[in-house]
């Protein structure tokens, strides 16, 4: 979905209220928390609720989860818990099959939106095929770097081929969010080439794992939004 003139910014991997408020004041459009066990930026839903309750009303609240290989009863309970938090979006960051995502969409009681991660790396045609497969059952596609064998679901700090992402943006009709290796020094270039609906950053604005750097956050948001003016 190309032609976006006003790039949005999502700061993800927030672990505390102070960092989230700082990012919101710096101009972030969305704040993400990661509720995926055994990942470096994991927080539980109680802590996520505290962060969300502290945010300004016009900042979107995103919960990142992985729901592949989970019993369907667990999946529905998880979705209900996230809906009760007051989240605006749920970001599916695993290998959830299209059929599961479609079922979640059909059974959701709230107006929470679904973002689906599509990994970028290797075969360009496969990446595009994956993105197109999900576009009719989600509200947005998020493109993140695939690194085989690491076990990481994001926050790797590694770039992928932005030309693949550019083609996906041009072909997919839903909003596309660019993630993967973005930082204050490269976000303006990535934005200009790919023209995504939004950009997403986690490790690229940290002073250390789980702690955001106010200077980096401000510089990243300014770089992402510089072309908007």
* Partners of 140 in the β-ladder: 115
149 has a pLDDT exceeding 60: no
8-228 is classed CATH 3.20.20.70: yes
**What whole-number distance in Å separates Cα of residue 60 and Cα of residue 75?**
22
**Global pTM value:** 0.95
pLDDT, mean of residues 166-187: 97
Predicted confidence at residue 97, as pLDDT, reads: 96
pLDDT band (50, 70, 90) for residue 109: confident
**What whole-number distance in Å separates Cα of residue 161 and Cα of residue 166?**
9
Outline where DSSP puts E strands in the chain.
8-11, 30-34, 60-65, 89-92, 113-120, 140-145, 176-178, 198-201, 206-208, 211-212
Q: What is the mean pLDDT of the chain?
A: 93
**CA dist list (Å): 69 to 2, 35, 75, 187:** 33, 16, 10, 34
**What whole-number distance in Å separates Cα of residue 101 and Cα of residue 105?**
6
Residue in 19, 29, 144, 200 annotated catalytic: 144
CB atoms within 10 A of CB 177: 24
Residue in 12, 29, 89, 127 annotated catalytic: 12
Q: Looking only at Cα atoms, what is the longest distance across the chain?
A: 47
pLDDT band (50, 70, 90) for residue 102: very high
**What whole-number distance in Å separates Cα of residue 195 and Cα of residue 167?**
10
Predicted confidence at residue 151, as pLDDT, reads: 47
Higher pLDDT, 107 or 11: 11
* CB contact at 8 A, 48 and 34: no
227 has a pLDDT exceeding 90: no
Q: How many residues does the chain have?
A: 229
For the purposes of burial, counting CB atoms within 10 Å of the CB of 193, is it exposed (0-12), middle (13-18) or buried (19 or more)? middle
Q: Which two tokens stand for residue 139?
A: 């509200």
CB atoms within 10 A of CB 99: 9
159 has a pLDDT exceeding 90: yes
Catalytic-residue membership of 89: no
């Amino acid at each position: 979905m190309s032609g976006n003139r006003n790039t949005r910014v999502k700061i993800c991997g927030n672990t505390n209220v102070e960092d989230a408020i700082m990012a919101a004041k710096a101009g972030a459009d969305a704040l993400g928390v990661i509720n995926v066990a055994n990942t470096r930026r994991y927080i539980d839903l109680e802590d996520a609720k505290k962060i969300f309750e502290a945010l300004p009303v016009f900042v979107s609240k995103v919960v990142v989860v992985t729901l592949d290989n989970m019993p369907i009863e667990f999946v529905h309970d998880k979705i209900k818990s996230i809906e009760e938090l007051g989240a605006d979006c749920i970001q599916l960051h695993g290998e959830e099959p299209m059929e599961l995502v479609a079922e979640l969409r059909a059974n959701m009681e709230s107006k929470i939106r679904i973002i689906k991660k599509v990994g970028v790396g290797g075969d360009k045609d496969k990446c595009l095929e994956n993105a197109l497969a999900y576009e009719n059952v989600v509200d947005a596609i998020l493109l993140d770097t695939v690194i085989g064998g690491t076990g990481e679901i994001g926050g790797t700090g590694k770039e992928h081929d932005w030309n693949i992402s550019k083609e996906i943006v041009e072909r997919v009709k839903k909003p596309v969010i660019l993630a993967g290796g973005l930082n204050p020094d490269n976000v303006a270039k990535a934005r200009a080439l790919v023209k995504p609906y939004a950009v997403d950053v986690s490790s690229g604005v940290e002073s250390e794992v789980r702690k955001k750097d106010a200077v980096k956050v401000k510089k990243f948001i300014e770089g992402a939004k510089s072309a908007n003016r």
